[in-house]
Amino acid sequence: MANFSDYKYKRVTMFLGHYGSGKTNLAVNFALSMREKGLSVKMADLDIVNPYFRTKDSEKLLKEKGIELISPAFANSNVDLPALPQQAYSLVQRKDFYAVMDIGGDDRGAYALGRYTPYILEENDYEMIFVANFYRPLTTTADEAIEVMREIESACKIKFTAIINNSNLGNQTTAEAINATIERANELSKKTNLPIIATTVVDKTGVIAENLMEITLQEKYFDIKD
Amino acid sequence: MSKVLMKGNEAIAEAAIKAGCRHYFGYPITPQTEIAAYMAKRMPKIGGTFLQAESEISAINMVYGVAGAGFRVMTSSSSPGVSLKQEGISYIAGADLPALIVNVQRGGPGLGGIQPSQSDYFQATKGGGHGDYRLIVYAPASVQEMADYTIKAFDTADKYRMPVMLLADGTMGQMMEPVELPETTVQEIEKPWAVRGTQNKRKHNIINSLYLNPEELERTNIERFEKYKVIEENECLYEEFMMDDAEYCVVAFGIASRISKNAVIEARKQGVKVGLIRPITLWPFPNKVLKQTADKVKGFLSVELSMGQMIEDVRLATECKKPVKLCSRTGGMIPSPEQVLESIINLTKEAK
C-alpha cells in the first residue's frame, strides 16, 4: 500500500457497491492497512446476499494480524442462512476501536446495514465508501454507477461520503485498463460531489502503478493484496 | 465490444440476451441466483420478459409454452431445482422444442449443499426425465465459455429442435473473469412449426407429446434418434491438452479440467508424459477420440466432483482397453491440483 498516509480514518468505515465490484477484497485490505498503522480494528462481514467468496475466507489472515472478524454464523458452511450476527452491534455501540464493515452487493445487500443506521448516524464519525468497478457490466458508466448508489442509499438510509475507484479486469488488469476509467471516475466524483479517496491496483511487479496516468482530484493510489 | 469483468452467472444471462433470448422464467436457488437477478434488471429495459415463477415446475412449463410459440427462451436453476424441472424437460424433448436449461450444480443428493459439484452428470447426460430422449450438454470451463456456449446452445437448440443444457457448477457460476461478448450473434431460423396464430392462412400447428397410437409414438422415437445420430456426428466438442506424446490421459470437464490442467503441467515438470482430454459436450460424448487414445496411452484418470459418473462413459468409450482410475471430491469439496497430481503419479505406478 502506498501514498495513503495522510488519510484520516473515520471510526466506522463501510464498503458498499455493485455486486462483484471488489468490496470484500478492498475492505480486508483497508482493515489490514489500518492495523499496520497500529490502530485497533474490528471487522464485520455483513454480506447476507452472497454465500460464496466472502470476508470469512480471509479470517485466518485477519486473525494473524490481530483483527477480530464478526461474520454470520453459517458463513462458508453448506447452509445458506441469511442471518446477521448478534455481535455486529458491538461495532456500532462500542467506540474504543475502529470498525470496518463489508456489506453485500447492491440495494439488496445494503438493507442489512439499515438496522445499524441509527447508531452510525448518531455517532456521526463514519465513511461510507462506494466501490466502483467500471468493468462490471451494469456499472460501466458514471450514470449507471449513480443509479446503483441511489438504490443503495435508499435501502440503508445513509448517504455515501466517498468513492474508491476499484476498476479492474481481474488478472488481466493493465495500466491502460485503469487509465481508461479515470475520466469516468472523475465524472462520477463531480456529479455526486464526493471525493475519490483512492484508486486501487493489484500490482505484484509495480509496472501497473508506474504507468498510471497522473491522477487528479483527491485520488490516492492504493495497492491491494490478492 | 471491449472486455468486462463478469461472474459466470452474469455471463450466461448477458450472453442469452445477446443470443436473442427475451423470455426468462426461473426460481431463485444458490449458487445461480445471479442469473435471475441479472435478468430481472435487464429484461424490462430491453422489452423482454422476466418472470419469477412460483416454483421450478411452473418455470419449466412456462419455458415449454414460449418454446412452442417459437421464441428463444431459457430457465436456470441448481441441482435440486433442476430435478424438479425434469418432467417439463421430458415434455419439451417429446414435443421437439428448442429451449435452454442451465444447471449451475451444487452438492447432492437431496438438498445437499450450496457448494460446487458435478454430480448431476448422469441426470444431464442420461436423460433425467422419463422416456427416450437426449439433451445436448455443454460443459464450459471459463466465464468466457459460459458466454460462448450459452450463445451456441441457443443456435443448436433451434437447429435440431431440442432442449439443450448448459452444465456448470457453483464455482463457474460465482467466479469472476474478464469476458468479451459479441455484439450481434442472433441467427434465428424460420420456425414454421411454431404456434403463433394461423391468421386463417394455414392449417394450425400442434405442440404435443401425447400419442394415442403406439405405432406413431414409436415412429417419433425412431425419427428422434436418427436426429441424435446426426448430432453425435456433427456436434461433439472437446479439447486436447498436451496429448501429442502422452502416455497417460486425464479426462475432466468444467472446473475439474482447470484444476487438472495445473496438475498435468506439474506432472510434466516431473517427467510424466501425461495429457488431458476435456469433453466440452458431455452429450455427445467424445467417444471417438477416447477410443483412439486408448490405443496410445497406458491408462486414464477421470477427475470429477462426484463419486464417479463420467468415468462410466470413459470406460465405455475406451472399451475398457486400459485401466480407468478415479480422482474425486464430493459434497462441495474441490480436489486440489496436488491431489490430482498424486492420482496421476499413482496411475503411472498401477498402469505400466
Please list the pLDDT of chain A residue by residue as tens digits (226 residues). Answer: 444 667 889 999 999 999 889 999 899 999 998 998 999 999 999 888 776 777 777 888 999 999 999 988 777 676 667 788 889 999 999 999 999 999 999 998 999 999 999 999 999 999 999 999 999 988 999 999 999 999 999 999 999 999 999 999 988 888 889 999 999 999 999 999 999 998 888 776 666 667 666 554 444 556 666 5
- Is this prediction's ipTM beyond 0.90? no
Read off the pLDDT of each residue in B345-351 and give the average, rounded to a whole number.
Answer: 96
CA distance A136 to chain B (A): 5
pLDDT at residue A2, rounded to an integer = 44
pLDDT at residue A57, rounded to an integer = 78
Q: In this structure, what are the phi and psi dihedrals at residue B275, rounded to the nearest 5 degrees?
A: -135, -175
Does B326 score more than 90 pLDDT?
yes
- Selected for mutation to probe chain B from A77, A108, A166, A169 (highest B CB count within 10 Å) is A169
Angstrom distance (rounded) from CA A173 to CA B105? 29
CA distance B173 to chain A (A): 10
Q: Which residues of B86-106 are buried (b: 16+ CB within 10 A; e: fewer)?
A: bebbbbbbbbbbbbbbbbbbb
pLDDT at residue A117, rounded to an integer = 97
As its CATH architecture, domain B3-194+203-234 has 3-Layer(aba) Sandwich (3.40)
> Chain A residues with CB inside 8 Å of B31's CB?
51-52
CA distance A180 to chain B (A): 12
Angstrom distance (rounded) from CA A96 to CA B270? 54
Domain locations in chain B as residue ranges: 3-194+203-234, 238-350
Name which residue leads in pLDDT, A221 or B150: B150
CB contact under 8 A, B31 and A133: no
Of B4, B7, B178, which has the smallest distance from its Cβ to A140's Cβ?
Answer: B4
Q: What is the pLDDT of residues B177-236, one digit of tens each?
A: 999 998 866 777 899 999 999 999 999 999 999 999 999 999 999 999 999 999 999 999
Does B151 score more than 80 pLDDT?
yes
pLDDT at residue A152, rounded to an integer = 97
**What is the residue type of B80?**
P
Q: Number of A:B CB contacts under 8 A? A: 56
At residue B11, the 3 state secondary structure works out as helix
CB contact under 8 A, B5 and A53: no
Sheet containing B281-283: which strands, arranged edge to edge? B49-52, B23-26, B73-77, B99-105, B163-169, B136-138, B281-283
CB contact under 8 A, A80 and B114: yes
CA distance A20 to chain B (A): 8
Q: What is the pLDDT of residues B281-300, one digit of tens each?
A: 999 999 999 999 999 999 99
Angstrom distance (rounded) from CA A112 to CA A117? 10
Nearest to B12, CA basis, from B28, B29, B34:
B34
B24 neighbors B72 (Cβ within 8 angstroms): no
pLDDT at residue A205, rounded to an integer = 66
pLDDT at residue A220, rounded to an integer = 54
Q: Which helix (H) or strand (E) holds A196?
A: strand A196-201
Read off the pLDDT of each residue in B342-348 and give the average, rounded to a whole number.
Answer: 98
Of B38, B177, B332, which has the smallest distance from its Cβ to A170's Cβ?
Answer: B177
Read off the pLDDT of each residue in B100-115 and give the average, rounded to a whole number.
Answer: 95
What predicted TM-score, i.e. pTM, was given to this entire model?
0.90
As its CATH architecture, domain B238-350 has 3-Layer(aba) Sandwich (3.40)
Counting beta carbons within 10 angstroms of the beta carbon of residue A52, is it exposed (0 to 12), middle (13 to 18) or buried (19 or more)? buried
Does B50 score more than 60 pLDDT?
yes
- Selected for mutation to probe chain B from A21, A52, A169 (highest B CB count within 10 Å) is A52
**What is the residue type of A217?**
L
| Shared fold status for B3-194+203-234 and B238-350 | yes
Does B170 score more than 60 pLDDT?
yes
pLDDT at residue B183, rounded to an integer = 80
pLDDT at residue B61, rounded to an integer = 98
pLDDT at residue A1, rounded to an integer = 42
